[in-house]
Each structure stands twice: as C-alpha cells, then as structure tokens.
DNA sequence: TTTAAATTTGACCATCTGGTTAAACCTTTT
DNA sequence: AAAAGGTTTAACCAGATGGTCAAATTTAAA
C-alpha cells in the first residue's frame, strides 16, 4: 500500500530522469527538462532529491545494478559452452535493442567522472571472478582453446556493445545512413557474433 | 615562412583546443580553460574563431580526416590477408595507445549531435566501399571463410576500440583497477586480437 | 617617423542553470 | 472543523559561461 499511492511523484521523477539522463547525459541534461518530462515543477526535483548529482546517482547506480547480474547468470549456467555463448549474445543484443541509448550513455559517464563511477561501482559489488574461473575451466577441459579469458570477455562485450555505441558512425560507414538496414544488421549480429566467436575459440 | 612566424597564436589555440576538447568534450570544455591552456586572453579565441562551435568544428573535422585514411591504407595493400589484419591491428592499437582519450571522445561527440556529425563526416568523404570489396575478394578466393564483410569490419574495430572507450569499466572488472596491468593488457591485444580474428576467419 | 592595420586585452553583458524560499495547497489527524 | 504535516508552486538568486566591445599595444606599410 506504499507502492500504488496516487500518481507517486517520486516514481514519475525517476522515470523522467532516467529518460532524459540516458538521452542527454549528466552534463547535457537540464533539471527543467526533467521536470517538464515528469510534468511537475522544477523545485519538486530538489524536494525529493537534494541535487542534480544525487538524482543522477540514483539513476546511474540503479542502472548498473540492473544490467550486470542478468548477464553473468547465463554464462554461469551448466549448459555446454557453445550454448552459453549463444544465449549470452542473444540476450545481450536483445537487451541493447530494447535500450539502444544505453551503451553511449554508460561509456560517456564512466569517462566523465572516473572517481564517482568507481565509487558507485564498487559499492554495487559486481564481480567477474566466477566468470573468469568458468572460462578457465572450459579451457582446462579442452572445450575451448587456451587464451586469456579476459580477452574473451572483452571481445564478446566489445562486439556486442560497440555497434550500438558507435551507431551514428557505423551506420554511415557501412550502410550509407540507412536506418532500417542498420537495425537489421544489429538484429542479425545475434547470430554472427556467436559464429565469429565460436569459430575462433572452439577446437578444430 | 608562414608556418614559423613567431609563436603563431592560431596554432597555439588549435593545439590547446584539441587537448581540452578531447579531454572534456564539447559540452564539458570551457572557453576560459582553452584560453588558459593556450596562454592567451579568452577574447582572442573569438577573434580567430567566431564561436565555440566553429572552434570545435575545426578540431573535430581535422581529427576525422586524420584518423581514417591511415587505417584503410594498410588493409588495401597487396599483402596476404593474415599480414594485412596483423598490421592493421598493430597499427590501430598503437595509435590508440598514443591517443587514449580519442575513442571515448569520438563516441561521445558522434552521439551528441548526430546532424552535425553527419555533415562534417560526409563533407570529408570517407569511403569504405573499397574495403568491403577487398574482403569480398578474399572470400571469393577462399582465403577467408564467407561472412558479411561488414561484420568483420565491425568486429575488428570493436575489439580494438572498445577496451579504450570502456577503460574505466574494464580496468575495474578485469584487473581490479590496476593501471599497469590494464595497459599491459592493451599492449598485448595487438597479438590477441589478431589471433582471435584469424582463428575465426581463416579456413580450417 | 608617421600612419594604418592587425593583434591583444580587460571590462562588461545577456543568458542559462542549479538551487532556494516563502507562500499556497492538499491530505490526514485530532 | 481546526490544527498539523506533507506536497507543490511561482518567484527569485548567485554563479558560471559564451560572447562583445572599445581601448591599448604591437606590427607592418608609407
């Protein structure tokens, strides 16, 4: 009975702030713009959240917590490695298709204020050591060729995320600015990234 | 005798602006900061370049022109495909090691004002069609397996650029924030990216 | 040397923006 | 119904910032 009060101003603010912050970033977003998006007075933002910084922290921290756990769970399942990677890539690309602004936003913000990012990140206790271990075990078992597992993680993330973060550039370079074509390309990458990676890491 | 006049204020401004813009981005950079970096009065910036926008355009346009041509030239040489890819990756990573702020800066700016980016980009006439053709020919000749050459280009760029653009994140995730270790990782990727890609695309 | 033109500067302006405050309004309690 | 507490608003403020301008200074031309 606390969730569905009436219009719940706080939630309206959070939703509006998320929209605006992701689209414009911390620097580019205006408090007035967020207020307009939420359909409220600007002073109300400061009533519920003390400052722009605090409001941003709420959004950003929540976002980090939301993204990472879902991802590693797939890779830590007991399925065969081919399937784990296939499912991971499919899920990740699908999530990015639903949140196309996310990559550029996150990259922008982690580079803007590294200290702030490190703090919010560390306090959210995200940990990839299990993931590294899993890949090492797959290598020992001879299921995939030996390599630095960090390279494998970096490559998978890179191939998934980069085409979204660099969309304006790649769309122009590879598809002459054809929006439809580029989105189809992104959709197809669920398959092509998996192929590319498995071709590289599966023993011959 | 036009290049080495005296201190050449215009060059000092361009150099300072490049430094500040790449580090802070268009939004984050202050004209005063650029003036300080150049060791001149703020009004002089407006004397040489009419506005912040114009100054930024000069920097950004020049940067785009500088980056792309060097890159495709290697891939368009007549060397065998393994060597072309190896040299490309080595050169690209080396360039990024020399300009570590570049990836985050470019990604930020192409997503900030897409229209402006498209215009400056189109007027610089950068064209990848030869590159696509080259890869298609290598496939037809059976030197590499058949795939969409756009995926190959996207994957190569992604694997090279992403670890620089996402440095604060990956450094924390993969190396517990150890700067030295992460830089070694980046350096080693000259080899590991090449391996990863060739393993995937060379016929078995 | 004098004059004209180009360059450089300090002071200033208009605007934008995050944030504050006192008053108005609504909801709940007594 | 009246008091109290929580919510919302309009008006306002201080600082930052891109940009302008007239005057001063330096350089080049006559």
Question: Number of A:B CB contacts under 8 A?
Answer: 148
Give the residue on A whose Cα is nearest the Cα of B186: A151
Closest CA to B110 of B122, B98, B100, B99: B122
Chain B CB contacts of A151 under 8 Å are 189, 192-193, 196
Residues 6 or more apart whose CB falls under 8 angstroms from that of A76 comprise A130, A131, A134
Residue A183 lies in a domain: yes
Closest CA to B85 of B48, B33, B138, B17: B138
Instruction: From the CA of A121 to the C1' of D12: give the distance in Å.
Output: 38
Q: Is the pLDDT of residue A52 over 90?
A: yes
For residue A11, the distance in angstroms to the closest alpha carbon of chain B comes to 27
B87 shares contact with chain A (CB less than 8 Å)? no
**Domains in chain B, number:** 2
Residue A155 lies in a domain: yes
Residue A85 lies in a domain: yes
Give the structural domain span for B178. Answer: 58-201
**Residue A181 Ramachandran class (φ > 0 left, ψ -120 to 50 alpha, else beta):** alpha
A142: CATH: 1.10.357.10
User: Do residue B36 and residue B66 come from a single domain?
Assistant: no
Give the Cα separation of B26 and A191 in Å (integer).
Answer: 37
- Residues B195, B197, B199, B204, CA torsion sign: negative
* ipTM associated with this complex: 0.93
User: Do residue A96 and residue A175 come from a single domain?
Assistant: yes
User: Do residue A11 and residue A96 come from a single domain?
Assistant: no
Q: What is the mean pLDDT of residues A2-17?
A: 76
User: Do residue B95 and residue B17 come from a single domain?
Assistant: no
User: Do residue B44 and residue B113 come from a single domain?
Assistant: no
Residues of chain B with pLDDT under 50: 1-6
Nucleotide of closest approach to B32 (CA, C1'): D17
pLDDT at residue number B3: 33
pLDDT at residue number B2: 30
Cβ–Cβ < 8 Å for A165, A104: yes
B11: CATH: 1.10.10.60
Tens digits of residue pLDDT in B43-86: 999 999 999 999 999 999 999 888 877 778 899 999 999 999 99
User: Do residue B88 and residue B9 come from a single domain?
Assistant: no
For A138, what's the count of Cα atoms within 13 Å in the CB-facing half-sphere?
27
User: Do residue B190 and residue B112 come from a single domain?
Assistant: yes
Please give the backbone phi and psi of residue A168, each rounded to the nearest 5 degrees, phi first.
-60, -35
Q: What is the mean pLDDT of residues A137-155?
A: 98
Instruction: From the CA of B50 to the C1' of D20: give the distance in Å.
Output: 11
Helix (H) or strand (E) holding B47: helix B42-48
Residue A54 lies in a domain: no
Chain B CB contacts of A197 under 8 Å are 200
pLDDT at residue number A2: 31
Q: Which two tokens stand for residue A28?
A: 């580019």
CA angle A108–A110–A113, rounded 5-degree value: 100
User: Do residue A104 and residue A166 come from a single domain?
Assistant: yes
A157 shares contact with chain B (CB less than 8 Å)? yes
Tell me the CA end-to-end span of chain B in Å, nearest whole number.
59
User: Do residue A95 and residue A142 come from a single domain?
Assistant: yes
Closest CA to A88 of A121, A126, A131, A127: A131
Q: Is the pLDDT of residue A5 over 60?
A: no
User: Do residue A73 and residue A154 come from a single domain?
Assistant: yes
């Amino acid at each position: 009975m606390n969730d569905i009060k009436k219009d719940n101003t706080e939630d309206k603010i959070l939703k509006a702030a998320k929209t605006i912050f992701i689209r414009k970033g911390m620097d580019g977003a205006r408090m007035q713009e967020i207020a307009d998006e939420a359909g409220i007075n600007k002073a109300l933002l400061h009533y519920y959240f003390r400052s722009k910084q605090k409001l941003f922290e709420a959004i950003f921290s929540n976002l980090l917590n939301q993204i990472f756990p879902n991802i590693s769970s797939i890779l830590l399942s007991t399925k065969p490695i081919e399937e784990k990677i296939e499912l991971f890539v499919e899920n990740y690309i699908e999530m990015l298709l639903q949140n196309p602004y996310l990559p550029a936003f996150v990259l922008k913000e982690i580079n803007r204020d590294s200290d702030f990012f490190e703090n919010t990140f560390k306090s959210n206790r995200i940990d990839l050591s299990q993931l590294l271990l899993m890949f090492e075990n797959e290598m020992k078992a001879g299921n995939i060729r030996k390599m630095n597992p960090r390279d494998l993680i970096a490559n998978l993330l890179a191939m998934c995320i980069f085409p979204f973060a660099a969309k304006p550039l790649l769309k122009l370079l590879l598809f002459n600015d054809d929006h439809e074509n580029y989105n189809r390309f992104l959709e197809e990458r669920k398959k092509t990234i998996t192929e590319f990676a498995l071709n590289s890491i599966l023993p011959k």
